């Protein structure tokens, strides 16, 4: 009868009203939407060999690594994930290996909530946060679920509601980026806004051919249904138009790690005037195969973006950015109260403001080197600002963020 409904509803037949479950055009449309949702879920969610329940309500499926969404791609059919490559070499100066010291109050092991039970996924599988029907029903667009909204991505743009406070380098050839970000749970004022802090590895023009690789933490009630900060990834090769997605919500990123779940909540988090907890992220291009690898924490390889996903990034990046981004829907005609980072301005400094520290890039010879010329930009400085610096402990760093709507930001 459902098939009959789908065919007959556009020209409703009153004679079959009692037989046809589609009693109106609206209900028929809803049934079609539910069918599309189930098709999307079947594509995203793969059969699990083990399931783990997280304290935050997530369901984590342990999926055979060669059954993850990336292996739906024709280029990867029948293959298995690649072995890890050799990582970038640490920068040396005068024959001395340079490593960053961490202040005592910043130390702390970073975990994800789903790991608190002590369970993990077996070898040969990867953990995938299960996408639910409620996730898709909550989305503003079911068809674009898991993608960022289409928008101009120029950092000097005041349109489309996206606001940034970023540090960046450009004008060279970059083969990766590394930085440590402290993690917060900023207030997000409505389900269709988000607040994130991330690294961008960018090539192409800020138009239809923009290539980006992104990773960091985000609070997105629309995407996840809560206000936990979550580890995320993103990619696109056409300026967010039709390609790419968050996490593993489409075929693209190849995960190789059985201990990190992309899209899962991070714990612990930083507190104002209290303990500061950060995550270290490294994205770099494998010189041998050309794929872009992601490292989380100290030596934990999460996986890679295959080079064939991209056009410009098949070679190298021309810009690297670090920083925060929010969406401002201007509720009630005023600026949103969605916070960036800790929700406090950069001038408040350590323990109060958000930070990025030990910022580095990867050069053509697979060396991690200090940023050659860090510039900072806040496109709405009365709402979210940024202050950069450099010292012997944190290398290149900056504080950033803000509360959104305030006396300074009406």
DSSP assignment letter at 140: S
DSSP assignment letter at 311: S
Note whether 104 and 350 are within 8 A (CB): no
- How many degrees, rounded to 5, is the angle at CA 365 between CA 359 and CA 367? 30
Considering 106, 295, 325, 360, which one is annotated as catalytic? 325
- Known catalytic membership, residue 109: no
Instruction: Write the CA distances from 288 to 16, 74, 86, 345, integer angstroms.
Output: 64, 22, 9, 43
Identify the three-state secondary structure at position 315. coil
Q: Which residues contact 335 (CB under 8 A, 6 or more apart)?
A: 328, 383, 404, 405, 409, 410
46 CA to centre of own chain: 21
Question: CB-based burial of residue 192 (10 Å sphere; 0-12 exposed, 13-18 middle, 19+ buried)?
Answer: middle
Note whether 238 and 206 are within 8 A (CB): no
Identify the three-state secondary structure at position 104. helix
> Which residues are bridge partners to 201 per DSSP?
213, 320
Considering 214, 222, 241, 360, which one is annotated as catalytic? 214
Tokens of 51: 């399931």
- Give the Cβ contact number of residue 111 at 10 Å: 16
DSSP assignment letter at 89: B
Note whether 410 and 403 are within 8 A (CB): no
- Known catalytic membership, residue 106: no
Please give the Cα distance from 232 to 259 (Å, whole number). 15
DSSP of 357-371: EEEEEE-TTSBEEE-
Question: CB-based burial of residue 297 (10 Å sphere; 0-12 exposed, 13-18 middle, 19+ buried)?
Answer: middle
Residues assigned a catalytic role: 214, 325
């Amino acid at each position: 009868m459902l098939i009959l409904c789908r065919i007959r509803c556009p020209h409703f037949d009153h004679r079959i009203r009692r037989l046809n479950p589609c009693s109106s055009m609206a209900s028929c449309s809803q049934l079609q939407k539910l069918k599309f949702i189930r098709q999307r879920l079947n594509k995203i969610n793969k059969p699990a060999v083990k399931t783990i329940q997280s304290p935050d309500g997530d369901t984590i499926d342990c999926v055979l690594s060669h059954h993850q969404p990336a292996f739906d791609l024709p280029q990867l059919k029948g293959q298995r994930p690649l072995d890890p490559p050799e990582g970038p070499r640490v920068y040396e100066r005068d024959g001395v290996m340079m490593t960053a010291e961490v202040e005592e109050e910043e130390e702390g092991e970073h975990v994800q909530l789903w790991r608190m039970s002590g369970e993990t996924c077996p070898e040969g599988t990867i953990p995938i946060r299960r996408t639910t029907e409620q996730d898709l029903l909550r989305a503003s667009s079911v068809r674009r679920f898991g993608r960022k909204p289409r928008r101009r991505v120029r950092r000097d743009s005041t349109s489309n509601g996206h606001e940034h406070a970023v540090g960046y380098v450009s004008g060279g050839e970059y083969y990766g980026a590394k930085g440590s970000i402290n993690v917060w749970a900023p207030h997000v004022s409505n389900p269709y806004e988000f607040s994130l802090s991330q690294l961008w590895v960018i090539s192409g023009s800020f138009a239809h051919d923009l290539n980006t690789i992104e990773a960091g933490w985000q609070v997105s009630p629309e995407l996840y249904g809560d206000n936990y900060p979550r580890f995320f990834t993103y990619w696109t090769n056409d300026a967010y138009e039709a390609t790419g997605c968050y996490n593993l919500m489409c075929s693209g990123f190849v995960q190789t790690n059985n201990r990190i779940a992309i899209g899962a909540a991070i714990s612990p988090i930083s507190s104002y005037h209290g303990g500061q907890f950060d995550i270290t992220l490294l994205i770099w291009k494998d010189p041998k195969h050309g794929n872009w690898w992601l490292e989380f924490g100290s030596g934990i390889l999460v996986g890679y973006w295959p080079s064939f996903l991209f056009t410009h990034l098949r070679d190298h990046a021309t810009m690297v950015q670090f920083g925060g981004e929010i969406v401002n829907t201007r509720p009630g005609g005023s600026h949103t109260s969605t916070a960036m980072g800790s929700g406090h301005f950069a001038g408040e400094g350590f323990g109060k403001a958000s930070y990025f520290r030990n910022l580095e890039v990867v050069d053509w010879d697979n060396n991690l080197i200090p940023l050659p010329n860090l510039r900072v930009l806040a496109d709405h400085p009365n709402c979210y600002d940024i202050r950069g610096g450099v010292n012997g402990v944190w290398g290149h760093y900056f504080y950033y963020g803000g509360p959104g709507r305030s006396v300074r930001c009406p």
